[in-house]
Chain A
Amino acid sequence: MNASENSPSGPRLDRRSAIKWMFTAAAATTLLDHGLTAAATTAPAGVGYGTDPDVLKIYKPGDVWPLTFTASQRVTAAALCDVIIPADASGPSASSVGVPDFIDEWVSAPYPSHDADRTIVLAGLAWLDAESRKRFQNDFVNLVARQKNAICDDICFVPKAEPEFLNGAHFFKRFRDLTAGGYYTTPEGMKDIGYIGNVPLDKFEGPPIEVLQKLGLA
């Protein structure tokens, strides 16, 4: 096998860490109010696509197994997606190209390797709303940008997070990775990040001269 065949999977909390966080989070009052322990630890009901799926078909989230976000989880996820990837001159926002549906598909997947992400994302979304209400008396989606950023600044970088925000930071890290992977695989996201491949060429001539010059090779 060559290196490119081992398609990288995103870094993620292992199951044990996720469950550990569940216990910590549950003890911290707010999560229990949402009945989340049960929701986050119950395996989704669907089945996978099997070992011989139709690979030519174009799929969208929900086609193979049911999506499981509640209405409120969906709203919070979309709001956070757009804090992470807002619209700019190069491309649209994450929620406008269906990234929350992808995250829903991801945490609803009936594969054991998704259990940890299901736990961390559902618990994290609940924590985010609880934190929003605690600080600003409103759900995350209803906060103004300054308020959203105030929370996100506390959880956006694990090595710098205060102990009380460490679990939130682990959630944010994972959620940002999912948002990015969901976004940059859409046509709009591929254009945004600068991917121009997947089109047949008559010949392959390697990098153009201006690339080699920039690298000091020409």
Chain B
Amino acid sequence: MTTKEALINYCLRIGDTSLILGQRMSEWCSNGPILEEDIAMTNIALDHIGQARTMLTYAGELEGKGRTEDDFAYKRHEREYYNSLLSERPNGHFGDTVARNFLQSAYFYHLYSALSSSKDNMIAAHAAKSLKEVTYHLRHSAEWVVRLGDGTEESKEKIQTSFDEIWEYTGDLFEMNEVDDVLIKEGIAINQTEIKAKWDKTVDEVLVRAKLQRPKDAYMHSGRLNAIHSEYLGHLLAEMQFLPRAYPDAKW
């Protein structure tokens, strides 16, 4: 595997996770529990879609076959997506969304912190720019974890269940394959075990503040690296891709 091939895949992993989480967050538009939260979640959706655009555009440039960001977003099939299994989990209730976003944002926060010094200039610039956004996403979701966890008896029970149920999708975030080996050697990517150690610390700190129990590591799903997904991604893509597939000549 060449460095370029590895880098294209690496961009898709980051870009697809941003895109799918952005699409999920956009589903909250007009459905937020209060007006302010509706706007916050829609803002977060736009941040993620913006991040996806940069990475998908870069993947297209590296590939050199003329594929645009839209081609990547709207003309790929389920088995060509490299997003995390976590990012495609359904929104559920507000607490489910908060738990999912917190776990994914903590990951992005530490990933982008590390990639800010990547030897690939484009990755480094993207990471530095996105870090400011995900810092806010992490703060937003973490504050909600604390408020729901240390809130009423009902909110505590609900968000604890959210964490318990989604936990088995967190292992997928940190898996590595040949792509990582090639890029780590070049100083472009970061070893996921380093991210995992920092992610663990952030997650533990917030769960302690929230008076919640960290779920025990048990069976973990995997799939991200091989573009294998849960049953939810297909439905998400069907909705997201409907318009450009039904009207291929439609312009923004």
Q: Do A and B bind each other?
A: no
A residues adjacent to B (C-beta < 8 A): none
B residues adjacent to A (C-beta < 8 A): none
